[in-house]
């Protein structure tokens, strides 16, 4: 009888230990799942519910020359439907004419950069003129959106010879040129982009025509199916540093 009691006691202790271990493991798993803003994958901090998509390939869409009174809002609507954020390099003069659209771009979570005030070749200007072009565009973008841009896309991709602006702005070019500004055929614009798509690519487009907007949205749909995730260009630039 005494022997039996001993065996029962040992069995109970073993079962208790098992239960404790199980509870400890379950607690750990729950802690990982619910740590809303702190998982680091490959050096990129992502929130808990984005962790599942962190392995997707990043790519950035950039749109130059806006805000455009005819097409920017059409594009914004398409981006919103797809839950995609993009980067818009705005021309200062266009912002003074359409400040509400610039404000809407910012409000909807897209990144805004500077594309000079009059869309001029910065490489042909003096240091003072470059500063005026860039500084003036920064001011009107700030007035419309409440944020100073930190990125500059020099018109025609021609970088200014002079060190410019205080604080200095980072110049951003692109790795894929859609050539949408000279094309009206949606299929051809897509063909210029899709075969060249790869992780961390920066795509140059313009929200300046219906075909550009159509192509951009079709490019998003196709690349999403191929496992790409669309990010603003700063996410790619600053992650490379």
- Catalytic residue set: 64, 206
64 binds Ni ion (CB under 5 A): yes
- Report which DSSP code applies to 103: H
Residue with smallest beta-carbon separation from Ni ion: 64
207 binds Ni ion (CB under 5 A): no
DSSP states along 121-163: -GGGS-HHHHHHHHHHHHHHHHHHHS----EE--GGG---SS-
Q: Between residues 51 and 174, which has the closer beta carbon with respect to Ni ion?
A: 174
| Cα distances (Å, whole numbers) of residue 101 to 75, 118, 136, 220 | 11, 18, 18, 22
Pick the piece of the chain touching Ni ion (CB under 5 A) from 76-84, 130-138, 152-160, 220-228. 152-160
Quote the least distance from Cβ 206 to Ni ion, whole Å: 7
Whether residue 215 contacts residue 38, with contact meaning beta carbons closer than 8 Å, is answered with no
Quote the least distance from Cβ 64 to Ni ion, whole Å: 4
State the greatest distance between any 2 C-alpha atoms of the chain, in Å, as a whole number: 102
Quote the least distance from Cβ 88 to Ni ion, whole Å: 11
Binding residue for Ni ion, selected from 61, 63, 65, 209, defined by CB under 5 A: 65
Q: Between residues 92 and 155, which has the closer beta carbon with respect to Ni ion?
A: 155
Residue 44's DSSP bridge partners are 41
Whether residue 202 contacts residue 172, with contact meaning beta carbons closer than 8 Å, is answered with yes
Number of residues that bind Ni ion (CB under 5 A): 3
Quote the least distance from Cβ 155 to Ni ion, whole Å: 5
Distance separating alpha carbons of residues 3 and 1, to the nearest angstrom: 5
Q: Between residues 103 and 115, which has the closer beta carbon with respect to Ni ion?
A: 115
Pick the piece of the chain touching Ni ion (CB under 5 A) from 10-18, 23-31, 62-70, 188-196. 62-70
Q: Which tokens sit at 21?
A: 């271990």
Binding mask 4-43 for Ni ion (x = CB under 5 A): ----------------------------------------
Among 149, 143, 156, smallest CA distance to 170 is for 149
Whether residue 169 contacts residue 152, with contact meaning beta carbons closer than 8 Å, is answered with yes
Quote the least distance from Cβ 145 to Ni ion, whole Å: 19
Q: Which residues would be at the binding site for Ni ion (CB under 5 A)?
A: 64-65, 155
């Amino acid at each position: 009888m005494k022997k039996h009691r001993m065996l029962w006691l040992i069995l109970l202790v073993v079962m208790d230990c098992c239960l404790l271990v199980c509870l400890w493991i379950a607690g750990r798993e729950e802690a990982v799942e619910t740590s809303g803003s702190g998982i680091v994958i490959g050096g990129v901090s992502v929130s808990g519910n984005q962790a599942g998509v962190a392995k997707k390939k990043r790519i950035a869409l950039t749109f130059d020359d806006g805000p455009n009174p005819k097409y920017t809002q059409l594009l914004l609507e398409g981006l919103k439907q797809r839950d995609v954020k993009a980067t818009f390099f705005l021309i200062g003069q266009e912002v003074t004419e359409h400040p509400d659209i610039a404000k809407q771009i910012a409000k909807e979570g897209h990144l805004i950069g500077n594309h000079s005030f009059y869309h001029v070749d910065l490489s042909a200007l003096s240091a003072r003129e470059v500063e005026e072009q860039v500084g003036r565009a920064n001011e009107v973008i700030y007035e419309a959106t409440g944020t100073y841009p930190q990125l500059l896309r020099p018109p025609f991709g021609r970088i200014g010879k002079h060190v410019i602006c205080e604080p200095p702005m980072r110049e951003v070019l692109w790795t894929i040129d859609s050539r949408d500004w000279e094309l009206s055929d949606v299929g051809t614009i897509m063909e210029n982009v899709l075969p060249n798509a790869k992780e961390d690519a920066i795509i140059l487009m313009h929200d300046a025509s219906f075909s550009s907007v159509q192509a951009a949205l079709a490019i998003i749909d196709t690349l999403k199916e191929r496992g790409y995730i669309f990010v603003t260009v700063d996410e790619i630039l600053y992650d490379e540093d």
